[in-house]
Amino acid sequence: MILNMKMTLNKLLSYFLILLSIIICMSSENWFTIWLSMELNLISIIPLMYNYNYESSICMIKYFLIQSITSNSLLMCFIYNTTPFIAKMYSVLILILLLTKMGLAPLYMWFPPIMEYLSWMIIFMMLTIQKFIPLQLIYTINIDSKTFTFFTLINIWTGSIMMFFYTSLRKILTFSSMSHAGWVFINMNMEGYWLTYMMIYMAMLLPGIYYFNMFGTSVISQLPMTKNTMLKINTLIFFLSNSGFPPFAGFYLKWMTFSLCFSFYNNIIMFLLISSALINCYFYLRTCYPIICSLDLKKLYNSYSSSMLILSYLLINAWPFLL
């Protein structure tokens, strides 16, 4: 009992320090303070990753090493940014290092294997909360618009295409998050919009993660085979929202972003963005088809509590249109 209480207190402390690190970063304009908040964030998330098995230990070590290397490289860039070579490539180097910290393209290969062995709630943190500090840094640095657009498109397209190669829900959500990160970058063209995007994305992602965790779902093939109708319906809503299908929250995010794009991008960039959104939509609709075919709606009609849960989930995903 004492051991369980100690573990709970340690987790609460870690969550508090993660929240504190984000607050420090968001309220600071000094690069060294922001860097310290990243380090505080790192040492706080590491204990939460440990899951008392060999695989989670290896993942924890890999994550720590990658984060340490990128953090030290960032510190070196901040200190030696007056030297001719670093000054010339300063913003690009900072951007690549921050993208690597978040597990985004082009140096993303280390991230999906780690996600495979983490618990669902830690995955939620990795895909959302842990990205706030690097995103805030990207938002504050002055990056050439063409370079930034290039990395934006790489992440959107890599995330959209790589989902087709996996059946693991953890890896699919990892690449889906990569694609969403690209859309977050687009929203950085307008002050405060990227934060709005992230908050809606968190609200959209959390119910899906919760149900996958509750029912122990890890691969797509489990979804049509399960006899739990509530899981199937909620997964359908979750996938349709992620695909950007109206009237769910994912559609609102795309709609909000496209309304900004017309002011900043030419027709070619717009075509690439729309194409990637359609590919993303096709993937999720294709995934939804076998789940729809396996549904037993009679069970749903006979269960009042399940219907209420599904209705509440629908409201969570459609709330942007109710404002």
First to last CA, the chain: 46
pLDDT single digits (tens) 161-200:
999 999 999 999 999 999 999 999 999 987 778 999 999 9
Structure-token pair, residue 89: 């490539």
Give the pLDDT score at 1. Answer: 56
Give the pLDDT score at 266. Answer: 83
User: What is the Rg, in whole angstroms, of the alpha carbon atoms belonging to the chain?
Assistant: 20
Give the pLDDT score at 192. Answer: 75
The confidence band for 86, taking pLDDT boundaries of 50, 70 and 90, is: low
Give the CA dihedral 285, 287, 290, 295, nearest 10 degrees. -80
CB neighbour class for 5 (10 Å; exposed up to 12, middle 13-18, buried from 19): exposed
Enumerate the domain spans of the chain: 2-322
| Mean pLDDT within 107-115 | 95
Give the pLDDT score at 90. Answer: 85
Structure-token pair, residue 159: 């995330």
Q: What is the DSSP letter of 28?
A: -
| Mean pLDDT within 76-100 | 84
- Long-range CB contacts (within 8 A, 24+) of 143-148: 143/91, 143/92, 143/95, 144/91, 144/92, 147/91, 147/92, 147/95, 148/95, 148/185
Q: Please give the Cα distance from 203 to 303 (Å, whole number).
A: 26
Give the pLDDT score at 187. Answer: 92
Share of the chain above pLDDT 90, in %: 52
Q: Contact, 173 vs 201, CB < 8 A?
A: no
Structure-token pair, residue 171: 């890896």
The confidence band for 304, taking pLDDT boundaries of 50, 70 and 90, is: very low
Q: Buried (b) or exposed (e) across 242-261, using 16+ Cβ within 10 A?
A: bbbbeebbbbbbbebbbeeb
Residue 129 to residues 146, 209, 290, Cα–Cα distance (Å): 28, 14, 32
Q: Give the total residue count for the chain.
A: 323
Q: Contact, 14 vs 45, CB < 8 A?
A: yes
The confidence band for 317, taking pLDDT boundaries of 50, 70 and 90, is: low
